[in-house]
Amino acid sequence: MENTKESIINHALTLFSERGYDGVSMRDIAKSVGIQAPSLYNHFKSKEDIFNSIIDEMSKRYHDMAVKNQVPRGEMNDIVEAYVHVTTEALVEIAQKMITFMIKDDFALKYRKLLTIEQYRSAKAGQAFQDFFVQGALHFESNLFKEMMKYGVFMDCDPLIMAYHFYGPIFLMMNQFHVQDGSESEALDMVSRHVKQFSKIYVKHLRENK
Q: What is the CATH number of the domain that holds 74?
A: 1.10.357.10
CA distance 123 to 176: 26
The C-alpha atoms of residue 163 and residue 144 are separated, in whole angstroms, by: 9
What sections of the chain are H helices per DSSP?
4-19, 26-33, 37-40, 47-68, 76-84, 88-104, 106-118, 123-133, 135-150, 159-176, 184-202, 204-208
Indicate whether 198 belongs to any domain: yes
Question: Could you give the CA distance from residue 13 to residue 33 in angstroms, rounded to a whole number?
Answer: 12
Q: In this predicted model, what pLDDT tens digit does every residue of 157-180 receive, in sequence order?
A: 999 999 999 999 999 999 998 876
Confidence class of residue 210 from pLDDT cuts 50, 70 and 90?
Answer: very low
User: Are 48 and 128 within one domain?
Assistant: no
Question: Domain range spanning residue 37?
Answer: 1-53
Give the mean pLDDT of 56-80. 90
CA distance to 92, 106, 163, 183, per residue, from 189 (Å): 10, 22, 21, 10
Burial bucket for residue 95 (CB in 10 Å: 0-12, 13-18, 19+): buried
Mean pLDDT for the chain overall: 91
Mean pLDDT of 13-26: 94
Let me know whether 41 and 91 are in one domain. no
Residues 82 and 174 in one domain: yes
Claim to verify: residue 149 and residue 114 sit in the same structural domain:
yes
Contact between 171 and 100 (Cβ < 8 Å): no
Count of domains observed in the chain: 2
* Residue 108: closest CA among 71, 67, 58: 58
What are residue 154's DSSP bridge partners? 203
Band the pLDDT of 70: cuts 50, 70, 90: confident
Report DSSP state, residue 85: T
Closest CA to 117 of 109, 105, 128, 125: 125
Q: What is the pLDDT of residues 92-128, one digit of tens each?
A: 999 999 999 999 999 999 999 999 999 999 898 999 9
- Please report whether residue 61 resides in a domain: no
User: What pLDDT, on the 0 to 100 scale, is given for residue 1?
Assistant: 52
